[in-house]
A and B are shown apart, each in its own frame.
Chain A
Amino acid sequence: MRAEGTAIKYGNNVDTDVIIPARYLATQSHIELASHCMEDIDKSFVSRVKPGDIMVAGANFGCGSSREHAPIAIKASGISCVIAENFARIFYRNAINIGLAILECPEAARSIGEGDEVSIDFDTGIIKNVTRDEKYQAQPFPAFIKDMIEKGGLMASIKGGRKCTKALR
């Protein structure tokens, strides 16, 4: 599993309210959510993001309300991975559960600049900054998380009509 794209960079404490403002939460349409992604912090995001691009941010990314709409909006906008120094707990869970790749890597989060070309190898956890010719090491995902992201999220990855085999207790 790999990702390649241009870095779009933000600072610390990007909260779920700026990722997708509450006034748009009534919709469940991923496309509509994506069309307002980052609107309150970066009006140009929607027009400049290209499929595969990589979002890079500082500490505590995704703090605030637990809305699952936030990672959905980012994923639907075409972002292939979010790299941050660290993530708020519920955002972290929600992102993986909906199949958005996210990596914690303080070094990459600090060194990658806006517009840098970045490639990620999820098997090894190596993040390459092609523009600056640098490499950063993130902890690679275990196989089951990779599987979950590849299949599009938690529900999709466990689908297949599991039947009961063990006794009730």
Chain B
Amino acid sequence: MGMTMTQKILASHAGLPSVAAGQLIKAKLDLVLANDITGPVAINEFEKAGFEDVDRTARIALVMDHFAPNKDIKSAESCKKCRTFSKRFGIENFYDVGEMGIEHALIPEKGLIAPGEAAIGADSHTCTYGALGAFSTGVGSTDMAAAMATGETWFKVPEAIKVNLIGKKQRWVSGKDIILHLIGMIGVDGALYKSLEFSGDGLADLSMADRLTISNMAIEAGAKNGIFAVDDITLRYMQERCDRSFESYEADPGAEYVRIIDLDLSEIPCTVSWPHLPSNTHPATEGGNIEIDQVVIGSCTNGNIEDMAVAAEILRGRHIKSGLRGIVIPATPKIYMQCVDRGYVRIFMDAGCIVSTPTCGPCLGGHMGILAAGERAVSTTNRNFVGRMGHTESEVYLASPAVAAASAITGHISHPGEVVSA
């Protein structure tokens, strides 16, 4: 029987000629990741078990992004624990304030993951790296601790849903609209435990930034991972970032899928998820009477330079609605500097937005942009659960950078066409 792309990567990391859905395997890992929230818990487990050293076969990465620059004493202690641990074991890929970016933007940018590789991270959005044709998934802190000690973990081999992309996107439509649309179609448990495998002619119309956004939110459909076929766009992206050799896997022609979804990109509108579930999707054009207090453009979902470019294109020479707070968060220092060099920072600030340091910040209701009771935000982040950005009576509307920027200008949820002609 043929294998899916995910199954082939898992088989190779398990040292097996083939694997089948449902099988329990032990797999070697290329990357093991945690952040300033989950890292300390994993470190505690690691120390409690009394390991003398970390495994050196997998790259270990610790990224201080959620509450950094530290927002209070507790978060400072958490980062300190990771810092001390990294020093003790000589962990190269420890990223602290100054070098730190949001983990799922930073890891691909630094070339720490490549096509065909396998990664786990103690963070649910670790599935982001599927965009590069890697297998990656989120796990718990105990899994992370064990993987730091052994360089491997166990998996149950998932079934897969194939998403066959065709056609070309409409103007202003991006990866964000595509994944929100898909989650709206299949629901927040539509891909529970399964792989979402993206392929088809439509791939050619999706930049790496689009793909990273789509894979990032695979978990919001319940998926274990969301993976893209490797093409020229992937290879070009890797060439600039990584000099390791890697292997690209393709699904077998006879691979078995529990479901095949044909997605015509040309039919997908600019899409917004109303509170309080990512699956509660509506076309952006329906948001005309929804007044907003804050706009956030950033996060591991939409903090890339392409996202900044779209926002700048719309905000250039315009001003956000008075009384509205606009917060722009480039996801990494590199992206931040690109925003400076390309003049985006001036555009954002002239428009009345503030450009924040790279951090998760408001995305998880952490700091630097929390909502009060009754307030509404349009945000390019990935979750709009009750209380996600602050008070339990606040609301988050998930959207693309284009819709978020346009909405900042009008003060209500807007299609970009409302503020920019053609």
Contact = CB atoms under 8 A, between A and B. Distances in A.
Interface in A19-55: none
A93 interface: yes
B24 A164 contact: no
Interface in B22-55: 22, 24-26, 45, 48-55
B55 A144 contact: no
B142 A97 contact: yes
A165 B145 CA distance: 18
B172 interface: no
A155 B142 contact: yes
A139 B45 CA distance: 30
A166 B224 contact: no
Contact of B224 (A89, A97, A141, A144): A89
Contacts of B149: 158, 162
B140 A94 contact: yes
Nearest to B49: A155
Contacts of B50: 159, 161
B140 A97 contact: yes
A145 interface: yes
A96 interface: yes
Given A139-B22, A158-B149, A159-B49, A92 B156 contact: yes
Nearest to A94: B140
A68 B122 CA distance: 14
B30 to A, nearest CB: 9
B246 interface: no
Interface string A139-169: 1011011001000001110110111111111
A154 B146 contact: yes
A86 to B, nearest CB: 9
Given A159-B50, A162-B150, A168 B139 contact: no
B146 A166 contact: no
A90 interface: yes
B257 interface: no
B86 to A, nearest CB: 13
A148 B192 CA distance: 25
B56 A167 contact: yes
Interface in A53-77: 66, 68
Contacts of B24: 141-142, 145
B56 A166 contact: yes
Contacts of B52: 161-163
A68 B149 CA distance: 20
A154 B192 contact: no
A155 B154 contact: no
Contact of A68 (B48, B142, B146, B193): B142
B143 interface: yes
A162 B55 contact: yes
Interface in B132-185: 139-140, 142-143, 145-146, 149-150, 154, 156
Nearest to B193: A89
Interface in B223-276: 224
Interface string B112-145: 0000000000000000000000000001101101
B224 A90 contact: no
B193 A144 contact: no
A4 to B, nearest CB: 23
B92 A168 contact: yes
B150 A97 contact: no
Contacts of A165: 56
Contacts of A159: 49-51
B51 A162 contact: yes
A66 B156 contact: no
A168 B56 contact: yes
B346 interface: no
Interface in A91-107: 92-94, 96-98
Contacts of B192: 89
A3 B139 CA distance: 29
B154 A144 contact: yes
B318 interface: no
A155 B140 contact: no
B59 interface: yes
Contacts of B92: 168
Interface string B55-77: 11101000000000000000000
A13 B55 CA distance: 38
9 contacts: A97-B143, A97-B146, A142-B24, A142-B26, A158-B149, A161-B50, A162-B55, A168-B92, A169-B56
Top-6 shortest CB links A-B: A164-B56, A89-B193, A161-B52, A155-B49, A164-B53, A154-B146
